[in-house]
Structure 1
């Protein structure tokens, strides 16, 4: 075949699918392989070996295994373009192969028993020594006699063989660490089929702060005008200490953090009224709540007029419509950012149901983790998507994205029922008394936060305490990390975490759901 991708292209409409169309194949190159877990009309695994500039591919319904006693059916399919090595996203349902895809494993491979693997495939038997993160050792593919595209896949009995090894027990991507469900809810990358293959991968993640912006901030004296995200912002008192620490954290450092984290934090602030907790004299002094948009705010700063405000109440709120707003808030002395859980377009309709695990004086960190894990189990049982986050102080919160149409009465009642069900499992840890002194040091599962203009601290907001701790979203399995603490990350360490692990809350942005009945 002059073009090994001819069949692949003929089956797809590249005006609708995000898959790569593929460049003309080039001979040679390193021997790479990929296994993608692909949920199309049926779940299967796509096993692909780089041969002569394309990916020679098999669909394996039950997935490859390290178990030498297991034989897997593998259907030989059309060659795929080399760019598919890193394809992780969603193919539209109306397209060929529609469904969600993760890079389940990848690495390098070597052809065994032949220097011409393409010829070996044509003859119907390929021996491959694979060096992946999950798959290791000798894989053998053999075409079944008389069955055309039907092959058998097996793992040889070697040092890497594992009896009973099941791929479904290892469901996460080796690229992003995410499951198929998480990728389906929030694909991080899109393939543009109208672009050259080398440029086809388009990130859907927020644009980061330009590198030179922090250098510009560092070059300013005690004050000046900082051009950040295209907005001129007058910054003052840059060397003022705002957080005690070793060394103390200055306002300049806070602004640098706010600018770097703003693109990641913005989706949880955007379109919502902000309640700002200001500490203009630093975290070791008394702070106060500031809700009214100040008259001296720059014209570009978003706002929302609350038509329901009574006399003496806030009439106009700040709304974060762009990342520069986060930097403005930090410059304004807001050490905490608290967005409403409803949008300004529908202030009486929450977009999240909130679970607030509020420890008492006698609640240990281990006790709080027990409560969080019980909520994890309950949500898994209900099939509900949510994610926890540490508060940066002592607590843990769980955010659950919901579809439009619920009232705060609805979410409060649902969370109350869920938490009281959990509380009955460990009554020795929980009090339902409102007054702190009546709880006798026990934890409170606070469903009352589900109310209009009651807010929980935003993901990635600093907290006014020693070292500038941060409220940080978690993946569920991090609740089992022995090193986890509610104030583990600070504005000095959080950015490294984002760089290595990404944002665990992003999955919530595409996962609005109905709340199931709790019996």
Structure 2
């Protein structure tokens, strides 16, 4: 084969395990592709497409990407034989390409130019690919384990063999970094495994074919909880999302292992005996062990799920009664996800691949059905689902991981009817036919402070059986005192808040009551403590760059574990003692003087204490730790409250608890290194509260170089030169600190301006002008209140430039803003020259300087918090309403608007080269 002469010439097949040329597989009807990760002199990914019996090859120095905005350089090299698609091993030292090779991805492909495919026609596909190579442009669709969808290879004019690999926009688009997925799709080995002497064994099958699947013990059904969807206000059109109908039933996790089947409710309650036919269908699956997620529904005469039809099972206890009802009523388990299969945990496998795995391994029946994605745009799917009688739709990111127990933003639900769960806190007396039962149920939900808020009464929608059964349960739960935070309507007999019901309603009234509520059924699968008021998030704001919440805590703990630790800490903080030791995540933190006032009383609000500060830190821990992780802190301590002078600590000289992480950083004075504190776990956050560290001031750079400063060092303390070359000299953000020097007239001599509406409004106007400028430059920008009088604008940037470069760039933008608003903006250092203007501070972009971190409390009379907000909120926002008491409730309702800020980095090269 003359076309492989260069391949032969470079290799000695007596020394290298690489295959000599042979014949292509004539039995394979589709063209194949393979991507081999190769640790040669430089790491690269060899992208190979079968064309005309050989593998056309393009090494990718930076690996492939599923992001259409990313263009990967590809250098065409010599053809490889078809057999090379199976090569995985070590090329010996001294041979061409010496190093380790794994099969990083593989599959089949077809050209797709102009929407025309050549599936099952290898000859036609090869002909079209050869024409494309000659033309210098290829378009093709891949069906691999990691790479899926349409791509293009485009030849450039810079060098004879220089090409670019670019992802086309389709449902497989993703911003995740594929190169972090480092295992072979054949053997499951990594390059490090090969380097250490482990050799590839037989090819894996089933879940092992998925790079993110991991061998694991079977999960404990008692401890697992399902992933939940966040409520949004409208359907949408965006690439990379799958749409499903929202099913009106009972959420169930199903398990088969060791010959035993278990069905568990959302709360982890064993409900296996309630559904004998479904249990039998799962027992009959071919898999030895599996865990499934889905919804058990009862179908009406039109085949539409109706939650009310399941209510007949609630008060049954005998197996014979469940069997009778199973025969009379078609209860179906609609399966939409798979979590575990035959020895492998597949929760980290992207959703689309989990669904493909589910489709190939689940044996469906009249009791077990597969939920497939619905084709079409979000609006069309929602309209179709409503027409068919479903209660809404669910959108799921195709690349989403399964996050147990998390209400994630990678799964979104849109309801076509208004309904939600409520906690029953009492009932009113019945009249007439209802004299022996009750008139209405008093309903409530829990707010962020753990108070049961009254939502009104529901008196319609009950049948006789439900009235009798509920009255029996209510009588057993009677209480002397009201569980509600507010006064209830009518004469209410109070009960312990242990029953959850589902209620449909027309709307919420202005005073927080339900209008036209209708009882739908009892929800034994829902924990009363988790019932909150559902407020739809704005779809547009969520999808504009703030749409993902990580499943794990910043210290690697699963989100469900982190949430349990938070709840436990809050429970301990309810201890009325002023001095005690709190136990968190296996650590002990001694707390003292918890009732000491930190913020003085203001209006009707009493003084806020050290206990309030620590409680705030615990409630906000998931988001605070996300933003503080690996960032050195400067402590600002107020041991006697904000009315007394604070003191600052960059370096903590006293002995530290074992759980506190530190990093040694070269001193600015040139006298060696000093230890800086890192807040990477919940015990450290609580300990900072104990120290009266009322403000959290963090660096803009991180100690962790990955993923975008991988070439930077981790030596921060041996010398100034080492620090300048390290990741800590390359910030994640370009920051703009806008500080109004517009006075109210009530300030004393020499005092900074206090908050006043005129100064705030001017700062808002300047911020919006800055956003216009950043939008013109196509830079993603995020805004937060300072917690005092000003605003902070952050532009997340790739860590290609150091602080000095970013500061210069910020100063340039500041000067441009002054030209457009000379009467409103100043960069003057002389404070007397700032009067009446908004100070644009570019010098915050300096190594070692810090701003109040996201969600940091501030020493203001209103106990302000530096709060991320949406740009659309800015014109109407009142910064004094964002404080220590209100921000936890806001985050609980809206989520963290900056959760994905690092996923929206801009490349400053266009600005700096201009």
TM-score by length of 1: 0.67
- Which residue pairs with 1:231 in the alignment? 587
**1:187 corresponds to 2:543:** no
1:188 Cα deviation from its structure 2 partner: 3.1
Residue 91 of structure 1 pairs with residue 399 of structure 2: yes
* Counterpart Cα distance in 1 of 2:550 and 2:654: 41
CA distance in structure 1 between the partners assigned to 2:839 and 2:784 by the alignment: 17
Residue 119 of structure 1 corresponds to none
The DSSP-based 3-state class of the residue aligned with 2:810 is: helix
Question: 1:12, 1:181 → 2: CA distance?
Answer: 30
Q: Distance in 1 between matches of 2:541 and 2:860?
A: 38
User: Deviation at 1:388?
Assistant: 0.4
The equivalent of 2:567 in structure 1 is 211
Please say if residues 766 and 825 of structure 2, whose CA atoms lie closer than 8 Å, have aligned partners that are also in contact: no
Cα gap change, 1:428/1:291 in structure 2, threshold over 3 Å: closer, same or farther? same
Given that 1:391 and 1:487 are in contact with CA atoms closer than 8 Å, whether structure 2 keeps it comes out as no
How far apart in 2 are the matches of 1:326 and 1:104? 33
Deviation larger for 388-397 or 48-57 = 48-57
Write the mapping of 1:366-445 to structure 2, written as runs, cut at 5 A. Answer: 366-445=761-840
Give distance in 2, aligned partners of 1:300 and 1:387.
32
Q: Which residue of 2 aligns with 1:177?
A: 538
Segments of 5+ residues of structure 2 without an aligned counterpart are 1-142, 146-205, 213-233, 248-302, 306-333, 335-370, 401-408, 419-504, 508-534, 552-557, 704-713, 715-726, 744-757
Q: CA deviation at 1:451?
A: 0.4
Corresponding residue of 1:307: 666
Correspondence for 1:477: 872
Distance 1:253 1:406 in 2: 40
Q: Where do 1:2-401 residues align within 5 Å?
A: 35=235, 37-40=237-240, 52=304, 59-60=375-376, 64=380, 85-91=393-399, 103=412, 105-108=414-417, 176-179=537-540, 182=543, 186-188=547-549, 207=563, 209-245=565-601, 246-310=605-669, 315-344=674-703, 345=714, 346-362=727-743, 364-401=759-796
How far the C-alpha of 1:308 sits from its partner, in A, is 4.2
1:327–1:494: structure 2 CA closer, same or farther, 3 Å change rule? same
Give the Cα separation in 2 of the matches to 1:408 and 1:250.
37
**Contact kept in structure 1, 2:613 and 2:689, CA below 8 Å:** yes
Q: Aligned in 2, Cα 1:442/1:410: closer, same or farther, shift over 3 Å?
A: same
Structure 1 counterpart of 2:886: 493
What is the rounded CA distance, in whole Å, between the counterparts of 1:340 and 1:189 in structure 2? 22
CA distance in 1, matches of 2:764, 2:561: 31
User: Is the 1:459–1:471 Cα contact (8 Å) retained in structure 2?
Assistant: yes
Distance 1:38 1:517, change over 3 A: closer
Match of 1:149 in 2: none
**Structure with greater contact order relative to length (CA < 8 Å, sep ≥ 6):** 1
Give the equivalent residue in structure 2 for 1:502: 895
Displacement of 1:415: 1.8
- SS of the aligned residue for 1:460 comes to coil
Query: Would you say the 8 A contact 2:391–2:417 is kept in 1?
Result: no
Determine which structure has more spread, i.e. the larger CA radius of gyration.
Answer: 2
Q: Distance in 1 between matches of 2:692 and 2:824?
A: 37
Aligned partner of residue 793 in structure 2, secondary structure = strand
Partners of 1:210 and 1:277 in 2: how far apart? 24
Deviation per CA, 1:444-501, whole angstroms, max 9, x where unpaired? 11111100001110111111122421111111111132xx123321111111111111
Instruction: Return the alpha-carbon distance in structure 2 between the equivalents of residues 449 and 311 of structure 1.
Output: 21
Secondary structure class of the residue paired with 1:517: helix
Supply the distance in 2 between the matched residues of 1:84 and 1:108 (Cα, whole angstroms). Answer: 7
The alpha carbon displacement at 1:185 in A equals 6.7
What RMSD over aligned residues (CA atoms) do the two structures have, in Å?
A: 3.9
**Secondary structure of 2:677's aligned partner:** strand
Once the two structures are TM-superposed, the CA of residue 108 in structure 1 deviates from its matched residue by 4.8
What SS is found at the alignment partner of 2:589?
strand
State the alpha-carbon separation in 2 of the partners of residues 83 and 507 from structure 1.
30
Q: Where do 5+ consecutive residues of structure 1 fail to align?
A: 1-10, 19-33, 67-73, 93-99, 110-130, 134-173, 191-201
Aligned counterparts of 1:379 and 1:385: Cα–Cα separation in 2? 7
Q: Does the CA-based 8 Å contact 1:403-1:513 persist in structure 2?
A: yes
Name 2:905's counterpart in structure 1: 512
Using the TM superposition, give the Cα deviation of residue 244 of structure 1 relative to its aligned residue in structure 2, in angstroms. 0.8
Listed one character per residue, the Cα deviations across residues 113-142 of structure 1 (whole Å, up to 9, x for unaligned) are xxxxxxxxxxxxxxxxxx999xxxxxxxxx
Greater Cα shift, 455-464 or 404-413: 404-413
Q: SS at 2:882's partner residue?
A: coil
Q: CA deviation at 1:224?
A: 1.3
2: CA distance, partners of 1:222 / 1:215: 15
Superposed CA deviations along residues 304-344 of structure 1, whole A, max 9, x for unmatched, are: 11134536787111111212212111110111010111113
Question: What whole-Å deviation, never above 9, does each CA across 1:157-196 have from its counterpart, x for those lacking one?
Answer: xxxxxxxxxxxxxxxxx95434498477753378xxxxxx
Deviations 1:208-261 (A, max 9, x none): 644232222221522111113432100111111111123001111111111111
Answer yes or no: is the 8 Å Cα contact 1:395–1:486 preserved in 2: no
Q: Which stretch has the larger CA shift, 452-461 or 180-189?
A: 180-189
